[in-house]
Amino acid sequence: MPPENPNVKAGLVYSRDLSAYDFGPHHPMQPVRLELTAELIEACGLLGPDSPMAPPRPATREELLRAHDAEYLDAVIAAGAGAASYRHGLGHADNPIFPRMDQASALISGGSVLAVEKVLSGEWPHAFAIAGGLHHAMRDRAAGFCILNDAAVAIHAALAGGVERVLYVDIDAHHGDGVERIFYSDPRVLTISIHESGRHLFPGTGFVTEIGEGPGEGFSVNVPLEPYSSDAAFVEAVERVVPPLARAFSPDLIVTQNGCDAHAEDPLTHLAITLEGHARAVSLLHDLSHEVCGGRLVALGGGGYSILRVVPLAWTRVFAMLAGRSLPEVTPERWRRQCRAAGSDGPPESFHDPETPEKFPETSEDVRETIAWIESNIFPRHGAKVLRS
């Protein structure tokens, strides 16, 4: 449907209440990364009548039950109320228990559902829920810093609202295993994950032969990359795999997970993507949404643990792209002051990576073999056409 307000280009789902999702001061996933991103978006003048911001609302139990088991949700509620637990993946180093974790997690999931509602209603053509993208949580357990799987909850909300087909594309360095698993036998959802190989990185899954099961066979697509893969391999994977499958699948909605932990500076991963490579992938997906589903695109955040030098820059670039706005040549001094107040003595002045010599070998031959396998084994199931260079 056409936008309800044709002047709106994109909307941001955010409030500082999302910072309640806090595993503690020594955990890699620090809520300040969201705060600094929102502050940079605002300082760059990206918010306005044509690019509004809306606060999230908590997901309801009914919404959460579409993606999670009742027993697991009850365990999360109990943990949030102070019950010690090592069941369902709760209480371990990756997923420590914190007060009201159930409420904080439900707010993130509700924010992603709100993003879907805004787009499907036509109020916003594009939506960016920066706290979303917690793609590792399974139906019955927490995993990889993710308590509830907001992406799966949001996709289920779209399906419950009458959408027939959803394309989910995940460019986080880690395999989007939770979303894939929740929809592993569901042909209404095509999941595509481009990530570092599970041979080298958590969660140890996401191999090219994981293609779905039953009626969902062929609807899970994985493009594992070798360590130190850089922009050429990453962008080639997106360019050659996603558009042909999207055109053949013809989704009603695209949901993207825009984790930026594939960046070369990320402390938890081994890929070598730049800010430009990440932005190129996001741009391809944005353009694709206009080609195949009338621009209906919901973008989520995800991983990213270079909290100052990568996450705010990458995600501000995402929002600027969705909103059709340009960025200033340098980061605003107001934002750099906020960074210094948060404890940084060297906030970045540019939205681009520093000019440095190439440090990493190119591994495009590896990814081309993977792409060729997908073209031979997955494309025919959908009638997708191989792109010729």
Domain hosting residue 319, numbered range: 10-355+363-382
At position 126, the amino acid (one-letter code) is H
Whole-angstrom CA distances from 194 to 47, 174, 311 are: 30, 8, 18
Sign of the C-alpha dihedral, residues 290, 115, 267, 332?
positive
Which tokens hold the place of 297?
Answer: 């695109």
Q: What is the pLDDT of residue 357?
A: 45
Residue 344 pLDDT: 72
User: Which residues belong to the active site?
Assistant: 175
Kindly give, in sequence order, each residue whose CB lies less than 8 Å from that of residue 59, ignoring residues fewer than 6 positions away. 106, 107, 109, 110, 113, 148, 150, 153
Rounded to whole angstroms, the Cα distance separating 15 from 10 reads 16
> How far, in Å, CA of 46 to CA of 42, rounded?
6
CA distances from residue 70 to 61, 75, 141, 184, 351 in whole angstroms, order as listed: 9, 9, 11, 20, 44
Tokens of 162: 């009458």
User: φ, ψ for residue 54 (rounded to 5)?
Assistant: -130, 140
- Residue 387 inside a domain? The answer is no
Position 2 scores a pLDDT of 47
Q: At what angle do helices 231-249 and 275-292 cross, to 10 degrees?
A: 10
3-state secondary structure (DSSP) of residue 13 = strand
Task: Determine contact, residues 113/131, Cβ cutoff 8 Å.
Answer: no
154 within domain boundaries:
yes
Residue at 1 is within a domain: no
Q: How far apart are CA 260 and CA 312, in angstroms?
A: 10
360: left (phi over 0), alpha (psi -120 to 50) or beta: beta
Q: What is the pTM of this model?
A: 0.96
Question: What's the CA gap between 110 and 45, in Å, rounded?
Answer: 26
User: How much is the CA Rg of the chain, to the nearest whole Å?
Assistant: 19
Torsional sign, CA 184, 165, 207, 370:
positive
Residue 5 lies in a domain: no
User: Is 3 part of a structural domain of the chain?
Assistant: no
Strand order in the sheet with 220-225: 53-54, 10-13, 126-129, 297-300, 253-257, 166-170, 189-196, 220-225
69 part of a folded domain: yes
| Structural domains in the chain (count) | 1
Report the distance separating Cα 308 and Cα 330, nearest Å.
Answer: 15
Q: Would you say residue 4 lies in a domain? A: no
Question: Average pLDDT by consecutive 10-residue portion of the chain (389 residues)?
Answer: 68 98 97 97 97 98 98 97 89 96 98 98 97 98 98 98 98 98 98 98 98 98 96 95 98 98 97 96 98 98 96 98 96 94 84 67 78 98 90
Q: What is the CATH number of the domain that holds 248?
A: 3.40.800.20
pLDDT value at residue 1: 47
Task: Classify residue 2: in a domain, yes or no.
Answer: no
Torsion of Cα atoms, 12 then 255 then 62 then 30, to 10°:
-60
